[in-house]
Amino acid sequence: MSVNKVYNRIESITGNVITVRASGVKYKELAQINTRFGKSLAQVNKIEGDIVSLQVFAGGQGVSTGDEVRFLGHEMRVSFSDDLLGRIFNGSGEPRDKGPALTENLKPIGGPSVNPTKRILANRMLRTNIPMIDMFNTLVVSQKLPIFSISGEPYNQLLARIAMQAEADVIVLGGMGLKYDDFLYFKDALSKGGALSKTVMFIHTASDPTVECMMIPDMVLAIAEQFALQNKDVLVLLTDMTNYADAMKEIAITQEQVPSNRGYPGDLYSQLAARYEKAVDFADSGSVTVLAVTTMPGDDVTHPVPDNTGYITEGQYYLKGGRIEPFGSLSRLKQNVNGKTRKDHRALMDAMIRLYSSYKETLEKKNMGFSMSRWDEKLLKYGNLFETRMMSLSVNLSLEEALDLGWKILADCFEKDETGIKSNLTDEFWPEG
């Protein structure tokens, strides 16, 4: 074994990838490279005879052919303990806050997939106190859901709110290509909201090297998996997976891989799926739930990143105009849980969505200048109330409060029999007066 064997000659430097002549090097092994700007990690990603290619975490800029490369004899690992809670790290696993580096109990990242026979059917609701989620597209423990969004939407604010309010034991946040002010916002919001002590953050900002961006999801998910195996319900928040895919694209092109669709590598689906499938509910242990922001370039859902994501995940939240859209959004697992919350949940959800869809049609008619009937007027009033009191992202209500509010909105606008809800439910839940 060539542990700590040192090489002083770099054969080639292309983008973030360097090659050295070395022997006894293992595939995916880490190396440390000393450049004039300091030390950086590098990972083996191809071996051809004695030519070893490495991707340099800090990037290829300023790397000299005479720089020293030292192989470390192990793969990328991350330290796991309760000391992680409240801490912030970068894509190389080094502290981003002022705390000490953690080196104990190192766990490999990007580990094998869970045996499907060891999974259990997702059947527990994960409360967020956001009515558009809890009531209309319930999030389920161990679900994997992207938040489809266009640039400029408040998706990071939404994630921060979910982090603060969600019923999870541990939150692991992964930032990829995050703007520095968004990073500060997360730090600030979580410490003000009191959730920092149960949160671990791995942050790659837009100005950090690309290779580090690619490490973030694996680090985050390795940590989440370890907490889950300690019987914790873990919520993983990732933002933004499109940046992650773009980092993969950059590296693949640098290494002259044949691109498949709009420049993305052919294994984009497998790479994304390997990460999302880390969402799991372990039989007799904890769980990992994944919410991941996926920005859609040009609001185009057929772009390769949201498209492949849609095939992998169990639905999506569609953030548009600062609200979670009830029509584009879908939680495929909601029917596993919303039948056992409160008996009016499903019926009220269906009725409110149906009426909201009628409101949208009426709004269209109104905009085209048609005259409004009495029924149209009722729908307009309803749509307005629904949007301001229910859909607005600032609304913060428990599921039960949201259901009660739903009945109140209906009663403000309609007669019982106009709602299309079965009469045994309206008899019981219709607000008096």
Partner 1 sequence: MTDNKGKVVSINGNLVSVQFEGNVSMNEICYVYAGETALKSEVIRIRGDIAQVQVYEMTDGIKCGDPVEFTGDMLSADLGPGLLGQVYDGLQNPLPILAEQAGWFLERGIYADGLNTEKKWEFTPTAKVGDTVRAGEYIGTVPEGPFTHKIFVPFNLLGSYTVKSIVEKGEYTVKETVAVITDERGREIPVSMSFKWPVKRAVKCYSERLAPVETMETKVRLIDSFFPVAKGGTYCTPGPFGAGKTVLQHTTSKYADVDIVIIAACGERAGEVVETLTEFPELIDPKTGRSLMERTIIICNTSSMPVASREASVYTSVTLAEYYRQMGLHVLLLADSTSRWAQALREMSGRLEEIPGEEAFPAYLESYIAAFYERAGYVRLPDGSTGSVTIGGTVSPAGGNFEEPVTQATLKVVGAFHGLSRERSDARKYPAIDPLISWSKYTSVIDNEKLDFCKGILHQGDEIGSMMKVIGEEGTTLLDYITYLKSEMLDAVYLQQNSFDLVEANCSKERQRYVTDKLVHVLGSNYNLASKDDARGFFNRMRQKFIDWNYAEFESADFKKAESDIDELYLHGEGKLSAQAEKLLKGGE
What beta strand segments (E) does 159-224 contain?
170-178, 199-205
CA gyration radius, the chain: 25
Any contact of residue 126 with partner 1 (CB under 8 A)? no
Distances in Å between the Cα of 342 and the Cα atoms of 54, 124, 255, 348 are 55, 14, 55, 10
Tokens of 105: 């109990």
Burial of 166 (C-beta count, 10 Å sphere; 0-12/13-18/19+)? buried
The site that binds partner 1 (CB under 8 A) totals a number of residues, namely 57
Tokens of 309: 């994501």
Burial of 131 (C-beta count, 10 Å sphere; 0-12/13-18/19+)? buried
| Residue in 8, 14, 61, 113 binding partner 1, rule: CB under 8 A | 113
* Residue 64: CB minimum distance to partner 1, A: 26
Q: Segment 204-233, which members bind partner 1 (CB under 8 A)?
A: 229
Distances in Å between the Cα of 382 and the Cα atoms of 352, 372, 408 are 9, 14, 11
| 81 phi and psi angles, rounded to 5 deg | -165, 175
Question: What x/- string results for residues 323 through 362 when contact with partner 1 is judged by CB under 8 A?
Answer: ----x--x-xx-----------------------------
* Sequential DSSP letters for 310-378: HHHSSEEEEEETTEE-TTT-EETTGGGTTTSS-TTHHHHHHHHHHHHHHHHHHHHHHHTTPPP-HHHHH
> Interface with partner 1 by CB under 8 A: which range of 80-88, 93-101, 243-251, 301-309?
301-309
Which of residues 87 and 119 has its CB atom nearest to partner 1 in the complex? Answer: 119
Any contact of residue 366 with partner 1 (CB under 8 A)? no
Which of residues 30 and 425 has its CB atom nearest to partner 1 in the complex? Answer: 30
| Residue in 102, 196, 245, 273 binding partner 1, rule: CB under 8 A | 273
* Residue 282: CB minimum distance to partner 1, A: 6
Task: Kindly tell me the sign of the dihedral angle through the C-alpha atoms of 426, 428, 431, 433.
Answer: positive
* Calpha distance 149→273 (Å, rounded): 20
Beta bridge partners of 148: 294, 318
* Residue 142: CB minimum distance to partner 1, A: 8
* Residue 101: CB minimum distance to partner 1, A: 24
* Residue 113: CB minimum distance to partner 1, A: 4
* Residue 269: CB minimum distance to partner 1, A: 6
Tokens of 4: 């700590």
Beta bridge partners of 42: 31, 56
Tokens of 111: 């580990």
Which of residues 260 and 384 has its CB atom nearest to partner 1 in the complex? Answer: 260
Any contact of residue 114 with partner 1 (CB under 8 A)? yes
> Interface with partner 1 by CB under 8 A: which range of 20-28, 160-168, 209-217, 417-425?
20-28
| Residue in 15, 150, 167, 269 binding partner 1, rule: CB under 8 A | 269
* Residue 58: CB minimum distance to partner 1, A: 22
Any contact of residue 115 with partner 1 (CB under 8 A)? yes
Q: Segment 35-54, which members bind partner 1 (CB under 8 A)?
A: 46-50
Q: What separation, in Å, do the N-terminal and C-terminal C-alpha atoms of the chain show?
A: 81
Any contact of residue 277 with partner 1 (CB under 8 A)? yes
Which of residues 138 and 199 has its CB atom nearest to partner 1 in the complex? Answer: 138
* Residue 430: CB minimum distance to partner 1, A: 25
Any contact of residue 298 with partner 1 (CB under 8 A)? no
* Calpha distance 362→383 (Å, rounded): 10
Any contact of residue 257 with partner 1 (CB under 8 A)? yes
Tokens of 317: 């939240």
* Calpha distance 398→102 (Å, rounded): 38
* Calpha distance 348→27 (Å, rounded): 55
Any contact of residue 310 with partner 1 (CB under 8 A)? yes
Q: Segment 65-84, which members bind partner 1 (CB under 8 A)?
A: 75
Any contact of residue 270 with partner 1 (CB under 8 A)? yes
Any contact of residue 56 with partner 1 (CB under 8 A)? no
* Calpha distance 219→235 (Å, rounded): 14
Q: For binding to partner 1 (CB under 8 A), which residues are involved?
A: 23-29, 46-50, 75, 111-122, 142, 229, 257-261, 265-267, 269-270, 273-274, 276-278, 280, 282, 302, 304, 307-308, 310-312, 314-315, 327, 330, 332-333
